[in-house]
Amino acid sequence: MPGPLLAVDAPSLLYRAFFALPSSIKGADGHPVNALLGTANLILFAVERHDPRAVALCFGAEAAHYRTDAFPAYHADRPPMPDELARQWAGAPDFFSAFGWTIHHAGELEADDLLGSFATVEEQAGGTALLFTGDRDMFQCATDHVSVLYPRGGKDGPEVIDPDGVRERYGVDPEQVPDFIALRGDPSDGLPGAKGIGEKTARDLLREHGSLDALLEEAHRPVPNLKPRIVGTLTAQADELRAFHDIASLRHIDVQRPADAPLDAARAAGAARARGIMRLAERLDALA
């Protein structure tokens, strides 16, 4: 049986690797290669343990227009990309193509939209998918055939989050994740959520009512089955909460299912060696 499609949130892993490893790790040209090295090691860890049939690296816009149009403060507080990361970012597609991994860009949409689209296409074709990302919004994609690889510290590598894992973390089903984000908020994206509604309250409301739309409808009943404080918040923020839900929901992109493509360790070792990333080259030589 073929392995899963491994769809990688390249921006997420590049940022994570850049800030996890020191910039003193430099390549043959004297510039830092910490983001490239760290990202390669993270993906290789997943490749060695999950034997994917193909690896697709997904890039995209920093902030999709449909999200900033709905809520201008979306991603507004994020600092600009450091110059030392920008240089590695620009070279990432060429570098990782040498591994036999395909590179995809979401255009005006974001990498998470692309990951979700690959998951849908792979599942519809009868396959399974692993989405390697530090973006918890992607928990909405978890199904019996799609799991999220969520990075964590330590030697155990990324955690596999399936539908039961989403329920264990959030107390809601995967398809309720956009509702949950809308109510609870998401500081990493600049979404404040509903005033006075935290994680526990959001979970309990969704367990009882099922969705944000059902909650908003309940709030407008003559005798709502909700606390007056909750009714007041839902009524005052109804349009804003719908916007948050739309922002948290993925857009489908018309993508082709990637063909099977094993790791080309020998070519990847040559690409690493050419950039002066010698330890990675040695690791790839061993794999080859």
Average pLDDT in the 225-243 region?
95
Which band of pLDDT confidence, cut at 50, 70 and 90, is reported for residue 153? confident
Contact 244, 181 (CB under 8 A): yes
Q: Residue 202: pLDDT above 80?
A: yes
Which two three-digit tokens encode residue 260?
């099977």
Tell me what pLDDT residue 2 has.
87
Q: Residue 281: pLDDT above 90?
A: yes
Tell me what pLDDT residue 222 has.
84
Contact 119, 146 (CB under 8 A): yes
Q: Between β-strands 5-9 and 129-132, what pairing exists: parallel, antiparallel or unpaired?
A: parallel
Q: Residue 32: pLDDT above 90?
A: yes
* CATH number for the domain running over 5-162+251-287: 3.40.50.1010
Which band of pLDDT confidence, cut at 50, 70 and 90, is reported for residue 168? very high
Tell me what pLDDT residue 77 has.
87
Tell me what pLDDT residue 155 has.
75
Tell me what pLDDT residue 44 has.
97
- Average of per-residue pLDDT values in the chain: 96
- CA 26 distance to own-chain centroid: 27
Which two three-digit tokens encode residue 95?
């570098």
Tell me what pLDDT residue 46 has.
97
Q: Is the dihedral of CA 64, 70, 75, 81 positive or negative?
A: positive
Which residues face 32 on adjacent strands? 26
Tell me what pLDDT residue 79 has.
92
The span from the CA of 114 to the CA of 63, in Å, is 13
Contact 4, 130 (CB under 8 A): yes
CA dihedral 71, 73, 74, 80 (to 10 degrees): 150
Average pLDDT in the 55-62 region?
97
| DSSP code of residue 186 | B
The span from the CA of 96 to the CA of 284, in Å, is 13
Tell me what pLDDT residue 157 has.
86
Give the 3-state secondary structure of residue 28: coil
Tens digit of each residue's pLDDT (9 = 90 or more) over 68-88: 999 999 998 899 999 999 999
Give the 3-state secondary structure of residue 146: strand
> CATH top-level class for 174-248?
mainly alpha
Exposure class string for 59-70: b at 16+ Cβ within 10 A, else e: bbbebbebbbeb
Tell me what pLDDT residue 225 has.
92
Average pLDDT in the 166-195 region?
96
**Phi and psi (nearest 5°) for 179?**
-65, -45
Average pLDDT in the 116-145 region?
97
| DSSP code of residue 187 | G
Give, in order, the Cα–Cα distances in Å from 43 to each of 8, 88, 158, 250.
8, 16, 10, 23
Tell me what pLDDT residue 118 has.
98
Which band of pLDDT confidence, cut at 50, 70 and 90, is reported for residue 207? very high
Tens digit of each residue's pLDDT (9 = 90 or more) over 252-280: 999 999 999 999 999 999 999 999 999 99
The span from the CA of 116 to the CA of 250, in Å, is 7
Give the 3-state secondary structure of residue 202: helix
Which residues face 54 on adjacent strands? 5
> Domain ranges in the chain?
5-162+251-287, 174-248
